[in-house]
């Protein structure tokens, strides 16, 4: 995602039944684990790619090691870059049939569940395990409300990474570095095309991938302080720098893989590894996928921060919540504790390509890329992602997706930024 990340946003219309216990309903919706299936826990996510599944298995192993005899039911839903999972989750929440625990992101993404009063308070987990002392305060705050903490995070992905096939760039005489500007990046794409190379890998079948390309281009143009002002409403979406980012984005799109519309994000990643396309703007869940497919860091592929974003870390944080009326709520709390441990976070990140959110997890055993990402997470300016539902409301997130989709077809910069400005005002 990979994260990654709330890929297709939605707004929960939670019914009253989800929040109350039926007086004569036989206890099915509120059981804490005393029924015939007391020894099982359903974990719901959209993690189905090779690296994602491997990372999820590390969380499961960490949980079962301290909870022997409990069956973990993998409720992962494939397809749509997380969109299919989100649709099913919404239906289940409205039908008073929540998973025991499910995947989300901090900020506005988790906020929709918190505001609907459907999440268990995990403050006891933080207190028992001392998490507030080792998880960055801004991350704790982003999963909290009114002094209660509702989510535990397993790893932080860096969303603003530009990956490239080293052989293709070398053969084309193209160099990318931390100092490459967005304008120079567009020029590099043109040079790659002139050499007969498909310049830009893009898995546009997953709508988040194209939206993230614009998100990263936007950050490269306005910087982290400008980003924070924009999402806080202090800067207009029709400002000159936003328009410039949209112009640059429109110049990148013609260089995308002609098969992009048929490719998922992980399929596009495989094309990068195999040399079918040259560069890809994607969060570092791509690292886990590249390595899982056998590509070698520094030999087959390289990476730099998205042009213009050096010194920034776009947060795409993998977070789990527990339903307040989960069938196995007690086991859900134990899951939250287990996946927060140092050893489990390290094992998870090695598979996923992420950075442990606990600052007391040693990074010396991580591969070179992840050491670099960990240093960025702990030292660079953190900004929350719009695309993955952290920085702005689910309603705006959906409008962002819709506006990007329209812009890909129209290339009308004025209409694009006005659509974003209108969404921000609503």
Longest dimension (CA), the chain: 73
Confidence of residue 83 (pLDDT cuts 50, 70, 90): confident
Distance of CA 210 to the CA centre of its chain: 14
Q: Please enumerate in sequence order all residues whose Cβ is within 8 A of that of 414, keeping only pairs 6 or more positions apart, or say none.
A: 243
Domain count of the chain?
2
Structural domain includes residue 18: no
| H/E run at residue 7 | none
Partnered with residue 328 across adjacent β-strands are: 32
100 within a domain of the structure (yes/no): yes
Q: Are 54 and 46 within 8 A, CB to CB?
A: no
CB proximity list for 249: less than 8 A, separation 6 or greater: 213, 214, 217, 218, 407
For residue 19, tell me if it sits in a domain.
no
> What is the domain-level CATH number for residue 179?
3.40.190.10
Task: Band the pLDDT of 241: cuts 50, 70, 90.
Answer: very high
- Same structural domain, 148 and 170: no
Residue 413: predicted pLDDT: 97
Report the chain's mean pLDDT, rounded to a whole number: 91
Picking from 24-33, 221-230, 322-331, which range would have the lowest pLDDT averaged per residue? 24-33
For residues 75 and 196, membership in a common domain is answered with: no
Structural domain includes residue 398? yes
Same domain, 84 and 186: no
| Statement: residue 18 has pLDDT above 70 | no
Look up the domain containing 191 and give its range: 161-308+393-424
Mean pLDDT of 218-243: 97
| Residues 290 and 399 reside in one and the same domain | yes
Q: Examine residue 387 and state whether it is found in any structural domain, yes or no.
A: no
pLDDT at 20 over 90: no
289 plus 255 within the same structural domain: yes
Whether residue 302 is found in the same domain as residue 233: yes
Q: Please, are residues 383 and 376 in contact by the beta-carbon 8 Å criterion?
A: no
Could you tell me if residue 383 is inside a domain? Answer: no
Query: Are 173 and 129 members of one domain?
Result: no
Over residues 359-416, the pLDDT tens digits come to 999 999 999 999 999 999 999 999 999 999 999 999 999 999 999 999 999 999 999 9
Q: Which pair of tokens denotes residue 341?
A: 């441990």
Cβ atoms 343, 63 nearer than 8 A: no
Percent of the chain with pLDDT over 90: 88
Angle 169-173-174 from CA coordinates, rounded to 5°:
55
Q: What are the residues whose beta carbons fall under 8 Å from the beta carbon of 135, sequence distance 6 or more?
A: 153, 357, 358, 359
Q: Are residues 274 and 403 in the same domain?
A: yes
Can you read off the two tokens belonging to residue 230? 């924009």
Higher pLDDT, 58 or 36: 58
Give domain status of residue 29, yes or no: no
Asked if 98 and 142 sit in the same domain, the reply is: yes
Residue where the block lists tokens 């039911």: 73
Pair 165, 108 in one domain: no
Share of the chain residues as helix, strand and coil, in percent rounded to the nearest 5: 50, 15, 40
Residue 144 and residue 206 in one domain: no
Q: How many residues in the chain?
A: 426
Backbone angles phi, psi at 107, to 5 degrees: 70, -135
303 and 323 housed in the same domain: no
- Dihedral sign for Cα atoms in the order 278, 282, 284, 290: negative
């Amino acid at each position: 995602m990979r994260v990654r990340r709330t890929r297709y946003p939605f707004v929960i219309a939670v019914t009253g039944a989800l929040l109350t216990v039926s007086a004569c309903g036989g206890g099915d919706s509120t059981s804490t684990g005393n029924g015939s299936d007391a020894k099982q826990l359903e974990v719901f996510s959209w993690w189905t790619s090779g690296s994602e599944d491997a990372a999820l298995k590390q969380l499961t192993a960490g949980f079962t090691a301290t909870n022997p005899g409990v069956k973990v039911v993998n409720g992962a839903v494939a397809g749509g870059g997380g969109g299919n999972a989100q649709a099913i989750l919404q239906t289940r929440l409205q039908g008073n049939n929540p998973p025991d625990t499910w995947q989300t992101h901090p900020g506005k993404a988790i906020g929709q569940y918190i505001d609907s009063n459907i999440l268990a308070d995990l403050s006891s987990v933080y207190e028992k395990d001392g998490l507030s002392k080792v998880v960055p305060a801004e991350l704790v705050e982003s999963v909290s409300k009114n002094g209660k903490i509702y989510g535990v995070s397993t790893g932080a992905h860096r969303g603003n990474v530009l990956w490239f096939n080293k052989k293709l760039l070398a053969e084309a005489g193209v160099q990318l570095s931390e100092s490459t500007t967005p304008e120079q990046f567009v020029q590099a794409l043109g040079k790659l095309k002139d050499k007969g190379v498909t310049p830009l890998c893009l898995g546009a079948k997953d709508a988040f991938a194209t939206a993230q390309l614009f998100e990263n281009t936007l950050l490269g143009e306005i910087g982290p302080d400008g980003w924070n002002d924009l999402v806080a409403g202090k800067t207009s979406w029709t400002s000159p720098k936003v328009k410039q980012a949209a112009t640059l984005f429109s110049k990148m799109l013609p260089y995308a893989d002609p098969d992009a519309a048929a490719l998922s994000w992980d399929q596009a990643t495989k094309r990068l590894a195999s040399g079918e396309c040259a560069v890809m703007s994607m969060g570092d869940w791509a690292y886990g996928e590249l390595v899982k497919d056998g590509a070698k860091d520094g030999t087959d592929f390289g990476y730099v921060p998205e042009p213009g974003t050096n010194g920034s870390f776009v947060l795409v944080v993998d977070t789990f919540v527990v339903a307040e009326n989960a069938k196995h709520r007690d086991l859900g709390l134990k899951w939250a504790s287990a996946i927060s441990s140092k050893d489990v976070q390290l094992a998870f990140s090695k598979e996923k390509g992420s950075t442990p959110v606990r600052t007391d997890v040693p990074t010396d055993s991580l591969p070179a890329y992840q050491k670099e990402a960990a240093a960025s997470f702990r030292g660079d300016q953190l900004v929350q992602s719009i695309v993955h539902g952290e920085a702005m409301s689910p309603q705006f997130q959906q409008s962002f997706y819709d506006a990007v989709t329209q812009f890909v077809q129209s290339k009308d910069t004025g209409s694009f930024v006005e659509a974003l400005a209108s969404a921000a005002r609503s």
